[in-house]
Amino acid sequence: MLSAGGGVAAERAAPLSRRARLLSTRLVARDTWWQEFDCPDIAAASLPGQFVMLGVGLDEPGAWLLPRPFSVGWTGPGGEVGILLRAYGQGTRALAKLEVEQTALLLGPLGRPFDTESAEVECVAGGVGLAPFIFLAAREAAAGRRVRLIYGERDAAAVFDPALIARLTGHDPELFTEDGSAGRKGLVTAGLDPASGALLLGCGPTPLLRALAAFAREHGRRLQVSVEEHMGCGIGTCQGCVVRGADGRWVKACIEGSVFPAEELDWGAI
Amino acid sequence: MLLASGTCGYGQEYADLIPLDEIGGLVTKAVSLEPRPGNPPHRVAETPGGMINAIGLENPGLHGFIAEKLPWLREHLSRAQVFVNVVGHSAEDFAAVVSGLDGEDGFLGYEINVSCPNVKGGTMFGTDERALADLVARLRGCTERPLVIKLTPNVPDVGDFARICEEAGADGLSAINTFPGMVVDISRREPLIGNRSGGVSGPAILPMGVYATWRARQTCGLPIMGIGGIRNAEDALQYVLAGACLVQIGTASFVDPGAAVAVHDGISEYMTANGVARLEDLVGALQARPGRGPAIPAG
């Protein structure tokens, strides 16, 4: 596969489709749930930056829901797959109502992961863009490495429980809120250090990714972004999730991303 | 049973997820003479009971398909039958794609897409009786392979267009393609989809597809592939009883990649439970008498 960060990228596993039991679900912030599914083989195969399509399948009479993409937010020692779910619309609201012991259909791991091989890393997360960095920071901590984790939300009510982040990742995030009701006041980009040479990883709303791309360009920093696009299938067949590539092509976020080195995208069109 | 065009890529994408050689086959994403970049995003959205898409027939073109996609199909599938979905702006385009592919191995026949609602002129041939007849006759002269015409539901009577295809030399029909539709973003007061409108698929169109299949069956003797909204064996059997000898699974594969396998197994179970030896015995076996409502009591 392509190497996004200059190092040797890990081999991607073939996707698996699994009906998985919801082990726990917890309201962790306004409209935001942390769900853990019992799905050992997808957990074992996942790499930070990859995602799963989460849906209810076709078994429920009358139910119709296209699956939604979620970053793999964590994998547990018992084969758990954790996702961070913010209810924005009908689909995510329906998935948020899943109860413990109910099952859902997981398809994954999907997409291109972050490539952080032997690099010093700074993760910049906006909102539920935090999810892939929980996974990444936990992996790094397990390997005895530290990452910088900068996390921004609109206000305190939207902030994912910092104690749970610390428990899952072994890292304390540097928190920013736009209104200053938790952490430091300001946009998450206020936490960027122009003097650092670390590899930047970004995940969150498009304006954040655009700001990160501008910062990286200005300061000569390497940047990988995980883009959020609406997807139909997650495996490249529906061609619904395209973004404009730097070469002018429509590139599929699901299989060519969802992690892209910033220079592969046309930031004027995103 | 086949995976429907536009929902299974060129087969390779599903190779790790389902046993393609055990379900029947697939219809490729459309192939046009020249590569097409597709429509700008936003391209897909969920709708009540379905989804809307306006991909714009993004594909690598005839030569790209032969070089990049066909080798995989040829080398990795043995029992699965492959139909290549073909699109064009003009009769010349369609004919050039069919003629350009005809000497290649790795597929069985063609599904001619005269019914895409998401590109300018996409349904031009599918809604004009004369243009359709001329196109089918011309393509008949280009190939001896199975020539299946994918019909659009956006005509007064699908049956008329089915008969035209038969008279012009087609070997089969796919009924039906998507319905044109629109989703409005009320916060921005603009269309949700980049193309403004798109094609609606999914369970919402199941009864329309079954009806189109029944109408086509009444007016012509061609084999019909039923397509539109199939989620499970019960849905597929509606198409079979209405006259389809094959079915295609489309949008349901997005919800569950294993949907086609479940439909396949479910039909076998139905046949066993009902003492049906051959699926042919069910094709078009719908009794044309007035319906009497659900067989199970209300409540």
Catalytic site includes residue B220: no
φ, ψ dihedrals at A179, nearest 5°: -100, 0
Domains of chain A: 16-110 (2.40.30.10), 121-264 (3.40.50.80)
For residues B172, B175, B180 and B185, what is the CA-based torsion angle, rounded to 10 degrees? -130
Q: Does the structure show a pLDDT above 60 at A2? A: no
Rounded mean pLDDT, B259-270: 96
- Place B118 in a pLDDT band, splitting at 50, 70 and 90: low
Contact criterion met (CB < 8 Å) for A237 and B203: no
Smallest CA–CA distance from B192 into chain A, residue: A230
Contacts B59 to A, Cβ<8 Å:
none
B150 vs B35: CA distance, rounded Å? 21
Q: Are B14 and A237 inside 8 Å of each other by CB?
A: yes
Is B253 a residue whose pLDDT tops 70?
Answer: yes
Instruction: Say whether pLDDT at B219 is over 50.
Output: yes
Check pLDDT > 50 for residue A34.
yes
Q: What is the pLDDT of residue B286?
A: 93
Contacts B46 to A, Cβ<8 Å:
65-66, 90-91
- Is the CATH code 3.40.605.10 the one for domain B2-281? no
Of A58, A239, A241, the CB nearest to B252: A58
Q: Are B26 and B46 in contact (CB under 8 A)?
A: no
Confidence class of residue A59 from pLDDT cuts 50, 70 and 90? confident
Alpha helices in B220-297 (DSSP H): 233-242, 252-255, 259-273
Q: Bin B236: left if φ > 0, else alpha if -120 < ψ < 50, else beta.
A: alpha
Interface of B with A in 246-265 (CB under 8 A): 252-259, 262
Residue predicted with more confidence, B289 or B224: B224
* pTM beyond 0.80: yes
The pLDDT, as a whole number, for residue B155 is 95
Question: Is pLDDT at A62 greater than 90 in this prediction?
Answer: no
Check pLDDT > 90 for residue A9: no
Of residues B116, B165, B220, B245, which has the active-site annotation?
Answer: B116
Domain boundaries, chain B: 2-281
Closest chain A C-alpha to B224 CA, distance in angstroms? 24
Interval A105-160: pLDDT, tens: 999 999 999 999 878 999 999 999 999 999 999 999 999 999 999 999 999 999 99
Whole-angstrom distance, CA of residue B125 vs CA of residue A232:
28
The per-residue pLDDT for A157 is 97
User: What are the tokens at B223?
Assistant: 């084999």
**Mean pLDDT value of segment A15-30:** 96
| Phi-psi category of residue B238: left, alpha or beta, with phi > 0 → left and psi -120 to 50 → alpha | alpha
Predicted confidence (pLDDT) per residue in A154-179, tens digit: 999 999 988 899 999 999 999 999 99
- Token pair 């890990």 is found at A10
Q: Which residues of A touch B (CB under 8 A)?
A: 14-17, 55, 57-58, 64-67, 90-91, 105, 107, 229-233, 235-243, 249-250
Distance CA B175, CA B163 (A): 13
Q: Quote the ipTM score.
A: 0.91
Of the listed ranges A142-151, B49-58, B110-119, the one predicted with least confidence:
B110-119
- Return d(Cα A136, Cα A119) in angstroms, integer: 13
